[in-house]
Structure 1
Amino acid sequence: MSMHFSVLASGSTGNAIYVETESHSFLVDAGFSGKQMESLFQEVDRKIDSLSGILVTHEHSDHIKGVGVLARKYNLPVYANDKTWKAMEGLIGEVPVDLKFTFDMETTKSFGSLQIESFGVSHDAAEPMFYSFHYGQSKIVVITDTGYVSDRMKGIISNADVYVFESNHDVQMLRMGRYPWNIKRRILSDVGHVSNEDAALAMGDVIGDRTRRIYLAHLSQDNNMKDLARMSVEQTLETRGIKAGEQFSLYDTDPKVPTPLIAI
């Protein structure tokens, strides 16, 4: 039993992650236009109409831009918690009632042998949550858009085979950058986004014996760079006695180009 996955795109302009098993496939968020989403799927040789559904994390536009379009065009079920559904009203257009499903926070849904676990994060949205995928002995965790990683979150996401982990900004770049102070304060807050260093500190607490891949995701276009994020994470992990490249590897994600479809 194996899962395949690809970070189709990730960044401040849009986010979409694909996970499949032999019998089910899901899209976590659809933060791009319908046409852009179709192009991303073509690049990994998959078809949107074969999806089992779309899992929504929260209502910010870089996560839901294409949700309504894809649901209507391809007759796809959409899963979100009640507060997120209410927050999306007027943002994604009408979704037929028979395609609207509630996925409560801190619950697990089973789709055949695939179990999807939801968990809350700390972000300035109605009720933001992310997902952990369990299939056979494999576990994939997606966690971005959180101001910090609590002990409760760490307990849920610990010892995954694969992490798609937020590494949003370099603190100094953000502080010295062009954003107005209210935006900087929001990003740095407990309901904003985790920095490279804070992401690495959280990784150090959850990496386990089976962890093999960590994808650095949701990088800010203005306040981060791929090389800087990777270097910062590597150096911070080394202070905890954890060396990337030995048991596990770090991988970049891109706001426009999918990562290769990988089996775990």
Structure 2
Amino acid sequence: MSLRYSILASGSTGNALYVESDEHSFLVDAGFSGKQMESLFGQIDRDISKLSGIFVTHEHSDHIKGVGVLARKYKLPVYANEKTWKAMDGLVGEIPTEQKFIFNMETVKSFGAVEIESFGVSHDAAEPMFYVFHHSDKKLVLITDTGYVSDRMKGIITNADAYIFESNHDVQMLRMGRYPWNIKRRILSDVGHVSNEDAAVAMSDVIGEKTRRVYLAHLSLDNNMKDLARMSVSQTLQSRGLIVGEQFELYDTDPKTPTVLTAV
């Protein structure tokens, strides 16, 4: 038995993560239209109708665009905390009451051998939270859309086998870029997004002896590049005594193309 995952897409334009065990399958966020989500599932040869549920992190459109469509079409359960449900009202259309489930922050839900743990992050949404998937002795962490990584978050996500970790922007690109100052200030704030360097510093505090894979996620299309993110993260990790390619590997994610379905 194993836990397998594919980062269906990650970036400013939309985000979605697929996770499966031998008995259950899960979707975290659906930040694309229904047709685009179906295409992404087709690329990994998986069936949306078999999902055990959709798990929502927060109400921003790049995370929920397809949630309502998929829930209605495939009669899927949707899990979110109460404040996020309220914030999504009017954004995802009508979802039947029997398909709406409350998943409170910092709680755990069990699906057979899989336990899904929720934890809060610092982002400008109603009550943003992300997830840790536990299966046997394996641990998969998804953490994006946070302005910083607190000690509390680090305690929850430490020593995972695989991380999908926000590496949103290069600070210099953002400062010199075309965004209005109020948007730049929001991204740089404690309720915005972590930079490449800040992500690497946080990673260096949580990567443990079990860690084998780290994926750089939610890269800004305007204020980052894959090569730059990898270089910045690798250099910062090296300065803190962690060498990419020895204990663990660093991987890209893409705004349009899923990663290969991989066992944790």
Q: TM-score range by the shorter chain?
A: over 0.9
Alignment correspondent of 2:226? 226
TM-superposed deviation, 1:77: 0.2
Alignment correspondent of 2:54? 54
Aligned mates of 1:129, 1:252 — CA distance in 2: 23
Aligned mates of 1:57, 1:18 — CA distance in 2: 14
TM-superposed deviation, 1:263: 1.2
**TM-score, normalised with respect to structure 2:** 1.00
Alignment correspondent of 1:206? 206
Tell me, yes or no, if structure 1 residue 81 matches structure 2 residue 81. Answer: yes
TM-superposed deviation, 1:27: 0.3
TM-superposed deviation, 1:109: 0.6
TM-superposed deviation, 1:113: 1.1
% identity of equivalent residues: 79
Alignment correspondent of 1:156? 156
Aligned mates of 1:70, 1:89 — CA distance in 2: 16
Alignment correspondent of 1:124? 124
- Which amino acid in the other structure matches residue 120 of structure 1? G
Alignment correspondent of 2:247? 247
TM-superposed deviation, 1:194: 0.1
Aligned mates of 2:82, 2:24 — CA distance in 1: 24
Aligned mates of 1:39, 1:215 — CA distance in 2: 22
SS of the aligned residue for 1:14 comes to coil
Aligned mates of 2:215, 2:16 — CA distance in 1: 13
- Which amino acid in the other structure matches residue 15 of structure 2? N
Taking only aligned residues, the RMSD between alpha carbons, in angstroms, comes to: 0.4
The within-5 A match list for 1:177-192 is: 177-192=177-192
Q: How many residues align?
A: 264
Alignment correspondent of 1:27? 27
Aligned mates of 2:6, 2:113 — CA distance in 1: 20
Alignment correspondent of 1:174? 174
Aligned mates of 2:15, 2:56 — CA distance in 1: 11
Aligned mates of 1:247, 1:19 — CA distance in 2: 24
Deviations 1:30-79, CA, capped at 9 Å, x for gaps:
00000000000000010100100000000000000000000000000000
Alignment correspondent of 1:100? 100
Aligned mates of 1:50, 1:215 — CA distance in 2: 26
Alignment correspondent of 1:141? 141
Aligned mates of 2:80, 2:136 — CA distance in 1: 25
**TM-score, normalised with respect to structure 1:** 1.00
Runs of 4+ in 1 over 3 A off after TM superposition: none
Aligned mates of 2:98, 2:247 — CA distance in 1: 45
TM-superposed deviation, 1:114: 0.5
- Which amino acid in the other structure matches residue 54 of structure 2? I
- Which amino acid in the other structure matches residue 131 of structure 1? Y
Runs of 5+ unmatched residues, structure 2: none
Deviations 1:189-247, CA, capped at 9 Å, x for gaps:
00000000000000000000000000000000000000000000000000101001111
Tell me, yes or no, if structure 1 residue 16 matches structure 2 residue 16. Answer: yes
The within-5 A match list for 1:104-115 is: 104-115=104-115
Deviations 1:103-135, CA, capped at 9 Å, x for gaps:
000000111111000000000000000000000
Deviations 1:127-165, CA, capped at 9 Å, x for gaps:
000000000011000000000000000000000000000
Deviations 1:163-203, CA, capped at 9 Å, x for gaps:
00000000000000000000000000000000000000000
- Which amino acid in the other structure matches residue 220 of structure 1? S
- Which amino acid in the other structure matches residue 117 of structure 1? E
Aligned mates of 2:246, 2:75 — CA distance in 1: 44
Aligned mates of 1:157, 1:55 — CA distance in 2: 18
Aligned mates of 1:93, 1:26 — CA distance in 2: 21
